[in-house]
Amino acid sequence: MTLSTNDSKEIERRRTFAIISHPDAGKTTMTEKLLLYGGAIHEAGEVKAKKERRSARSDWMKLEQERGISVSTSVMQFDFCDLRINLLDTPGHADFSEDTYRTLAAVDSAMMILDNAKGVETQTKKLFEVCRMRRTPIFTFINKLDREGRSPFELMDEIEKVLNIQCNPVTWPIGMGKNFKGIYHRLKKKIILFTDEGFATGEAEEKSFDSVQDPMLRELIGEELHAQLVEDMELIDGTIGPFERQSFLDANVTPVMFGSGRTNFGVRAFLELFVDTAPAPFAQTTFGGDIVNPEDDFFSGFIFKIQANMDKNHRDRVVFLRIASGKFERGMYAKHARLGKEIRLSHSAQFMARDRETVDVAYAGDIIGLHDNGTCKIGDTLYTGAKRIEFSGIPQFSPEHFVKVDLAEPLKRKQLQKGISELCEEGTIQLFVDPKVGDQDPLLGAVGQLQFDVLLYRLKDEYNVEVRLRPQPFKHARWIRYKDGRTANPDPYSVKGTLQFAEDRLKNLVGLFTSDFHLSWAVHNNPDVVFLESMQSKLTVS
């Protein structure tokens, strides 16, 4: 298959990103505004309504219905300024799970939303760290300027200190709360005046000024706010300097913008910056160290998420695949790298803002959902062409919740072991085994509590096993490796600290910690080894 000029253009115009934020910072509101701009929805409220409506739908997992939450990572696609933008949802709140992290392996950039009164919160920090692992470029949007909040300097200082990334304000707020007058756009040298009537996609009033000293500007925003703006700009220009796209793409700098998603203010400015600076699909690396470019003429992609039982009657699953190179056409054949066999990609869906739709053609950068009867696992690669490709996989992330399992009916131990083993392979939960005890009493770990709910539900529904979960006191698991690059597991007896050890299912050594203090003590007192928060190993072994 060769790519036509048109195909290459399609790839070049793909932009795939996610929003990362702490619950309540305004992600849903912002998603809605972005979709309104892109014409993917037509009135505000559709995204929220969809969230609520889900509980009434019949073809989603029962668990979703009972809890009224979304277990899925949905993908929304919209067009803006000739770009085809894929926005991946990163579930938060109660549905926070390892899937939330894995989703970030499928994006090329991220938008971090902060509440201007709260700044960097726990979930923002966790998600940011996952982006940093892959050096994903991050836009920062400080939200809710229509309400009183903290000083913009203080917020930028916090981002720099807590997240360890340099800030470069592209827009700058003039006042806030009741006194919010708008934003000054440093790159475009214009002021965008705030109006709280911006519920549609109508343009806010913009005025250009060659300099912030312009008396007309003073008249517009008042003496006091003008003096403040002049002082702020002097300080910023003198200390921070101009915004450089390359530093953003290298993930050394985050462009910072201010606005108010609810009143639709600053959203267009964000989208314009996004269009000018967000990266097109990245090249991906294979296990062999080869680089696969998006415009390569063969199709390839990797699976980053599996959603089981969307339709229980068929026991089917949908696997989410990020296309890494080339073009997808429905009905095509692709090789499954791990199994070494060819499969037909006939049932494909794209998860649009409104609904699931069949997709006939998709390009590098896009996400497609493929129906699967159990042949795919997280991290699997599908490809076409003569050369075998296997991408370097999706890492496992350190769980923060741990349980042991008590079986209600002891005679069902075999089913339980089968269920746990299969659900771990699928990535639903993580399995840790104390080598001294063996797999009779495994420890299960999850990034979010939801994963345990899914485990209970699926064990009962698919394996007919009822269990009780016994919470364990650990807070962190860390993969322990030699610093000097030796691949063998370090000897647990040589690691200082009163920690407990286990092995993951690929037999990597893992240390378990009951507190932050416990962990940092071990880190400080074991200079020869590293304690990894995530493990990039071949998740799927043949």
Residues found near ligand G4P in the complex (CB under 6 A): 21, 23-29, 143-144, 146-147, 260-262
Nearest distance, CB of residue 452 and ligand G4P, angstroms: 22
Beta carbon of residue 157, minimum distance to ligand G4P (angstroms, whole number):
22
Compute the least distance from the CB of residue 258 to ligand G4P, in Å. 10
Nearer to ligand G4P, 113 or 424 (CB): 113
Residue with tokens 């000083």: 151
Structure tokens at 486: 């030796």
- Shortest distance (Å) from residue 8 CB to ligand G4P: 36
The secondary structure of 475-491 as a DSSP string is -EEEEEEETT---SPPP
CA–CA separation, 379 and 441 (whole Å): 27
10 Å CB burial of residue 530 (0-12, 13-18, 19+) is middle
The least distance separating ligand G4P from the CB of residue 32, rounded to whole angstroms, comes to 8
| Rounded least distance, CB 127 to ligand G4P, Å | 12
Pick left, alpha or beta for residue 318 (phi over 0 → left; psi -120 to 50 → alpha; otherwise beta).
Answer: beta
The DSSP result for 150-214, as a single string, is --HHHHHHHIIIII--EEEESEEEES-GGG--EEEETTTTEEEE--TTTTSSPPPPEEE-S-TT-
3-state secondary structure of 69: coil
Nearest distance, CB of residue 449 and ligand G4P, angstroms = 17
- At closest approach, how far in Å is the CB of 108 from ligand G4P? 22
Residue among 171 and 396 whose Cβ is closer to ligand G4P: 171
Our CB check for ligand G4P shows the closer of 141 and 282 to be 141
Q: Rank residues 271 and 334 by Cβ distance to ligand G4P and give the closer one.
A: 271
| C-beta atoms surrounding 279 within 10 Å | 16
Smallest gap from residue 430 Cβ to ligand G4P (A): 27
Residue closer to ligand G4P, measured from CB, 30 or 349? 30
Q: For the CB of residue 526, give the shortest distance to ligand G4P in the complex, in Å.
A: 39
**Nearer to ligand G4P among residue 147 and residue 336 (C-beta):** 147
Q: How many CB atoms lie within 10 A of CB 351?
A: 24
462-500: b (≥16 Cβ within 10 Å) or e: bbebebebeebebbbbbbbbeeeeeeebbebeebeeebb
Q: Are 484 and 129 in contact (CB under 8 A)?
A: no
| Comparison of 194 and 391: residue with beta carbon closer to ligand G4P | 194
Residue nearer to ligand G4P on the CB measure, 201 or 514: 201
**DSSP calls for 383-443:** E-SSS---B----EE--SEEEEEEESSGGGHHHHHHHHHHHHHHTSSEEEE-TTT-TTS-E
* Angle of CA points 252, 105, 479, to nearest 5°: 90
How far the first Cα of the chain sits from its last, in Å, is 29
Q: Which amino acid type is present at position 53?
A: R
Pairing of strands 396-397, 534-535: antiparallel
Rg (CA), the chain: 25
H/E element holding 519?
Answer: helix 516-525
* Residue number with CB closer to ligand G4P (28 or 451): 28
Residues 304, 320 contacting (CB under 8 angstroms) = yes
Structure tokens at 462: 């698919």
Min. distance of Cβ 46 from ligand G4P in angstroms? 13
Please, which residue, 26 or 399, has the CB nearer to ligand G4P?
A: 26
Minimum CB distance to ligand G4P smaller for 96 or for 531 = 96
143 versus 284: smaller Cβ distance to ligand G4P: 143
> What is the closest distance, in whole angstroms, from the C-beta atom of residue 180 to ligand G4P in the complex?
10
- CA gap 241, 235 in Å, rounded: 10
